Amino acid sequence: MNDADVSKQIQIVRFIRQEAEEKSNEISVYAEEEFNIEKLLVEAEKKKIRQEYERK
């Protein structure tokens, strides 16, 4: 491999790493959003159960 080939390989590796990091960040954000939605749903159900219990 000459210097140009090595440079091209380094650029490819950097690009792949950057893409992987961006995808990882997207997945983390999506997972956090889903967690928050589930948390809200659980809290709403808990509130509903408490209200039903208080009526009885």
Confidence of residue 2 (pLDDT cuts 50, 70, 90): very high
Residue 55: predicted pLDDT: 83
Residue 3: predicted pLDDT: 92
Mean pLDDT of 35-55: 95
Round to whole Å and give the CA distance between 29 and 6.
Answer: 35
pTM of the entire predicted model: 0.69
Helices (H), 1-56: 3-55
pLDDT at position 12 over 90: yes
